[in-house]
Structure 1
Amino acid sequence: MASPPPPLLLTLVWAAALLWCGGCDARFVVEKNSLRVTAPVALKGAYECAIGNFGVPQYGGTMVGVVAYPKANRKACKGFDDFDVSFKARPGALPTFLLVDRGDCYFTKKAWNAQNAGAAAILVADDRDEPLITMDTPEESGRVEYLENITIPSALISKSFGDRLKKAIDNGDMVNVNLDWRESLPHPDERVEYEFWTNSNDECGPKCDSQIDFVKSFKGAAQILEKQGYTQFTPHYITWYCPEAYTSSKQCKSQCINHGRYCAPDPEQDFSKGYDGKDVVIQNLRQVCVYKVAKESKKPWLWWDYVTDFAVRCPMKEKKYTKECADGVIKSLGLDHKAIDKCIGDPDADEENPILKAEQDAQIGKGSRGDVTILPTLVINNRQYRGKLDKGAILKALCAGFRETTEPTVCLSEDIQTNECLENNGGCWQDKAANITACKDTFLGKVCECPIVKGVKFIGDGYTHCEASGAGRCEINNGGCWKETMNGRTYSACTADGCKCPDGFKGDGIHKCEDIDECKERTACQCKECNCKNTWGSYECGCSGGLLYMKEHDTCISESAAAQVGWNFLWVIFFGLAATGIAGYAVYKYRIRRYMDSEIRAIMAQYMPLENQGDIHSHPHQIEM
């Protein structure tokens, strides 16, 4: 038996659970997914189940299987090899979802035994009538060697639903179910916001090791997503405060900063050796400030570099968990360590630290997100992730948070999901000749959406029909219209308004346009002397007896008449131009002459009386008597 923890540690744990939010009502939200029964008819419908906090939930996806309830070892606390039972599905058969009863051993033990027996998922039926709870990992996880190897998803179902499933199976009914995680995470837009609640302690056993390993393995993907603007990441750290009655105690002073306001448990759970809880709090604060300063420098992804480098260069086991070692990492990343020190503030001050106060406030659940009480916790689009910290599992969960068709390329890679457009084109419209399809692969599945190709938008329902529209439509597969080349001449039915056979052809304009025989239908060369010859898309008309064909009048005339008509026409033009020139010259001369006469008369009037002016009598000195 392990020795009981010190009384203050119990007090701090109690404070963490009840007092850290300042007396508010703690609210833990059980994250759920959907379970839909498709057979038998009596059970058909949708049911809620609680996602276990271990294994790999298939966020964004679904699983179809058959429920099996074992005849022995129904609580799955022993390996099924002891009972010579296997639940591995045969080739071509649906996978098995193992239904077991709650009780007698850890949830994780049940899942591990079910996985080893070949089950694809485990359903745990509650043994009491109560609201659904979250199945968590055991506190003494350091002793559970298999914990990180559990990969099947798990779900807790209510007692009443479990009883109905058992009854149906005992009656010989085949129970088909669909586990659905597609709506377990919100996916409202093209950017995913997520938080990682962690700590800088590296001496808490397998949980701390898994956190460090996760950060190292996920760093590359996280930084790419952040740099390209697909995600917005924020790290957070859980802290507690010491109850007022203990703030002056030696233990509280060693575990807390700012006079008991911000505390962390002792890393080794031994107050007499190693680092103290306050060392963890200060390093947590430093990591928050690294993120804050990096974000102000528009490089928030440097947090991942700092945390991974610090874990390698400054471990507790080597007694390097110090400010000096941390400053060396900060400087190597080109960050301003003075700005980070200013952000940290004075840990000995008897006042609130604004950064850590904000962290405590952020622990309180808002909206659909409950309080953060499990460490570590990943929050994606304001919903807490449940499952193991595994790079592939977390990446799938993030991909489930994007609005469909906006996810980055990494979410559509083969190691993340299958391309549903590869099989029967996803049931969508396609033009094989032009290699155009309406099927668009998404992380959640696929959508049938008419595409945009080379700037040309296709319109239609996406399933049975898509048609190019707008300007440039004829550049894409000729707009889906008829087109043919013969004898070096090409005709197309594609127009800006649709498919219409060109002049000289008839048909639907899409599949076929046939040449019109203008000669046969007597729409050309109708004069008595005309000879008509049909050509592809047109016709040729000639005249017999040496006559000349005039297309404008659809008539035949002799060459001499044509010549005479031509010379007469030229003479008419010549005399017309000559007459116009003479008339123009006469008008010009007349206007010039008239203008000159008026100018001369005006000048002469200034110097002598003209005949048309009357006598002028002047009496400059006349005085009236």
Structure 2
Amino acid sequence: MYIFADCYFTLKAWNAQNGGAAAILVADDKVEPLITMDNPEEDDADAAYLQNITIPSALISKSLGDSIKKALSDGEMVNMNLDWTESLPHPDERVEYEFWTNSNDACGPKCDSQIEFVKNFKGAAQILEQKGYTQFTPHYITWYCPAAFILSKQCKSQCINHGRYCAPDPEQDFSKGYDGKDVVVQNLRQACFYKVASESKKPWLWWDYVTDFSIRCPMKDKKYTKECADQVIQSLGVDLKKIDKCIGDPEADVDNEVLKAEQDTQIGKGSRGDVTILPTLVVNNRQYRGKLDKGAVLKAICAGFEETTEPSICLSEDVETNECLENNGGCWQDKATNLTACKDTFRGRVCECPVVQGVKFVGDGYTRCEASGSLRCEINNGGCWKRTQDGRTFSACVEDHSQGCKCPPGFKGDGVNSCEDVDECKDKLACQCSECKCKNTWGSYDCSCSGGLLYMREHDACISKAADTKYSWSFVWIIILGLAAAGVAGYAIYKYRIRRYMDSEIRAIMAQYMPLDSQADIPVHHAPRGDI
């Protein structure tokens, strides 16, 4: 729905909601960097509709608005999806975000929403910052007073450092309450607190300081003072002298290093555009354009992480999309055990087979998830058939996942939905001998023999009990006799070989001392005389 009128964004949204719109897109009427849609200071700041707008809204560029209008005029169907899934760049494992805010707490519903957001988001912000997932930087908008008006009453009451840094009067009344320069000084104090805390490696303390200051030092109680702020700073253990040095002298005719840098940062850069409205949230250099509450902002920040690198807080209940509540998100589900592959994330639901009690389920996540690994049968019996009957339990689950579900011996079936008992007697699979009698049991069978015979299962045969005894003893005597014969033969061979060996040894010894009958005379040689 497109509404072009000379009125505030909130009134556009309110009129669209009353007209039955489910959402509103506000198209810019000229080519320029987009700003954040504002919850403005209207004439009637307490108008009921300011707090009762419930439909989502977004400001889009002129070129996008023109293309949508053209498609509609051509009769085309236009589908728009308002989410953070692909709207933010996510180049690395850290998200950088800025929050442009104000210490003023007397500007009505807008100031109330800012401090309420800080209180609610503090816990998540500190977790992300402490673990290095994010780099957060607070910023504060100031204006400068034109040179021609520096000495005017208005500039003197709204500005510090000789008109260099100014803020509007909190009550829009110069004659009472706090002045704009009080707001500038407190803004500077908050910025300096962040600077000093960052130097001591604890930038997340900024969230504690801003929250505590809003509670302990509100304007309505006349405690919006340096004294009250100093008490809060000291309670958080931050060096007060360093903060005072950072603030400097608000009456000096010199630049303040911190506020000068803030004014330079206000100027638009890249796709961010100028920052002119409070509050403004910038995530990965993209302006956030949504409701300022914990859940919505956390989703935006989480979308800035590269997929699969997001911290666990991005997968918590705070940012769940609840798509699994309807039809289980179209994912696999085992209703018997309430196991599901559906998982809600800030990016939307994913169908991913779960890990339960150390057992990983594998499959496509949509139509199939099966337990795998050595413990697969411990979880829902691996999705296989299992049954107990007559005091006996049988299972089709096989520890080796590659074999899937297989009916055990004595059963037949797919192993998943059913395993039916095989009647071994009916199908003549057992007890096939003529004297055998077969009785089927669940998962097995029993065989017996008629006429007092004994059944031998391994041979599937019936034999006489008496014959069995006779034949058994005969077999034993045959073995004994065989062993005895083998022993006698071995002894005879041993004696024969020993005798032959001894004879040959004796003959060899005697041959050294006297010739034997079988040897010829051996001539004797005498050495010639004179050789001795």
- Fold conserved (TM > 0.5)? yes
Q: How do 1:52-63 residues align onto structure 2 when only pairs under 5 Å count?
A: none
Mapped pair 1:560 → 2:466: yes
> How has the CA–CA distance of structure 1 residues 196 and 133 changed in structure 2, closer, same or farther, with 3 Å as cutoff?
closer
Q: Which residue in 1 is equivalent to 2:82?
A: 180
> How has the CA–CA distance of structure 1 residues 366 and 567 changed in structure 2, closer, same or farther, with 3 Å as cutoff?
farther
The CA deviation string for residues 148-169 of structure 1, in whole angstroms up to 9 with x for no partner, is 334434456757557658867x
Q: Which residue in 2 is equivalent to 1:82?
A: none
Which one is further off, 185-194 or 463-472?
Answer: 185-194
Q: Secondary structure at the match of 1:519?
A: coil
Unpaired segments ≥5 residues, structure 1:
1-96, 588-611, 613-624
Deviation at 1:573? 8.3
Q: Which residue in 1 is equivalent to 2:412?
A: 506
Q: How do 1:102-251 residues align onto structure 2 when only pairs under 5 Å count?
A: 102-124=4-26, 130=31, 134=35, 136-137=37-38, 141=42, 143-146=44-47, 148-149=50-51, 150-155=53-58, 158=62, 160=66, 164=70, 178-183=80-85, 185-186=87-88, 188=90, 193-202=96-105, 205-206=107-108, 210-224=110-124, 226-227=126-127, 232=134, 234-238=136-140
Deviation at 1:309? 2.6
The CA deviation string for residues 517-550 of structure 1, in whole angstroms up to 9 with x for no partner, is 3334444334444433332222223333333233
Q: Which residue in 2 is equivalent to 1:543?
A: 449
Q: Secondary structure at the match of 1:180?
A: coil
Q: Residues of 2 paired with 1:148 and 1:266: CA distance?
A: 22
> How has the CA–CA distance of structure 1 residues 513 and 304 changed in structure 2, closer, same or farther, with 3 Å as cutoff?
same
Mapped pair 1:446 → 2:349: yes
Correspondence for 1:385 among 265, 269, 288: 288
Q: Which residue in 2 is equivalent to 1:59?
A: none
Deviation at 1:408? 3.9
Contact 2:98 2:283 in 1 (8 A): yes
RMSD of the alignment, in Å?
4.9
Aligned length: 475
Q: Residues of 2 paired with 1:335 and 1:575: CA distance?
A: 103
Q: Which residue in 1 is equivalent to 2:500?
A: none
Contact 1:190 1:230 in 2 (8 A): no
Contact 1:182 1:444 in 2 (8 A): yes
> How has the CA–CA distance of structure 1 residues 523 and 222 changed in structure 2, closer, same or farther, with 3 Å as cutoff?
same
Mapped pair 1:473 → 2:376: yes
Deviation at 1:499? 0.8
> How has the CA–CA distance of structure 1 residues 371 and 548 changed in structure 2, closer, same or farther, with 3 Å as cutoff?
same
Q: Which amino acid aligns with 2:165?
A: C
> How has the CA–CA distance of structure 1 residues 565 and 357 changed in structure 2, closer, same or farther, with 3 Å as cutoff?
farther
Q: Residues of 1 paired with 2:256 and 2:420: CA distance?
A: 85
Correspondence for 1:516 among 422, 436, 441: 422
Contact 2:361 2:370 in 1 (8 A): yes
Q: Residues of 1 paired with 2:80 and 2:141: CA distance?
A: 40
Q: Which residue in 1 is equivalent to 2:159?
A: 255
> How has the CA–CA distance of structure 1 residues 287 and 564 changed in structure 2, closer, same or farther, with 3 Å as cutoff?
farther
Q: Which amino acid aligns with 2:413?
A: G
Q: Secondary structure at the match of 1:234?
A: strand
Q: Which residue in 2 is equivalent to 1:85?
A: none
Q: Secondary structure at the match of 2:100?
A: strand
Q: Which amino acid aligns with 1:222?
A: K
Q: Which residue in 1 is equivalent to 2:522?
A: none
Q: Residues of 2 paired with 1:373 and 1:442: CA distance?
A: 33
Q: Secondary structure at the match of 1:563?
A: helix
Q: Secondary structure at the match of 1:223?
A: helix
> How has the CA–CA distance of structure 1 residues 454 and 193 changed in structure 2, closer, same or farther, with 3 Å as cutoff?
farther
TM-score (norm 1): 0.61
Q: How do 1:416-495 residues align onto structure 2 when only pairs under 5 Å count?
A: 419-495=322-398
Q: Which residue in 2 is equivalent to 1:411?
A: 318
Deviation at 1:118? 4.2
Contact 1:457 1:468 in 2 (8 A): yes
Q: Which amino acid aligns with 2:416?
A: I
Contact 1:499 1:509 in 2 (8 A): yes
Q: Residues of 2 paired with 1:576 and 1:347: CA distance?
A: 119
Identity rate, percent: 59
Q: Which residue in 2 is equivalent to 1:36?
A: none
> How has the CA–CA distance of structure 1 residues 373 and 254 changed in structure 2, closer, same or farther, with 3 Å as cutoff?
closer
Contact 1:263 1:277 in 2 (8 A): no
> How has the CA–CA distance of structure 1 residues 111 and 505 changed in structure 2, closer, same or farther, with 3 Å as cutoff?
closer
> How has the CA–CA distance of structure 1 residues 566 and 284 changed in structure 2, closer, same or farther, with 3 Å as cutoff?
farther
Contact 1:247 1:253 in 2 (8 A): no
Q: Secondary structure at the match of 1:306?
A: helix
Q: Which residue in 1 is equivalent to 2:520?
A: none
Which one has a larger percent strand, Structure 1 or Structure 2?
Answer: 1
Q: Which amino acid aligns with 1:223?
A: G
The CA deviation string for residues 416-462 of structure 1, in whole angstroms up to 9 with x for no partner, is x5x33233222222221222222223345423222222222222222
Correspondence for 2:167 among 239, 254, 265: 265
Q: Secondary structure at the match of 2:325?
A: coil
Unpaired segments ≥5 residues, structure 2:
495-512, 514-531
Q: Secondary structure at the match of 1:539?
A: strand
Relative contact order (C-alpha < 8 Å, sep 6+): which is higher?
1
The CA deviation string for residues 358-395 of structure 1, in whole angstroms up to 9 with x for no partner, is 64565465665444343321123432112454556545
Q: Which amino acid aligns with 1:499?
A: C
Deviation at 1:506? 2.1
Deviation at 1:194? 3.4
Q: Which residue in 2 is equivalent to 1:609?
A: none
Q: Which amino acid aligns with 2:365?
A: G
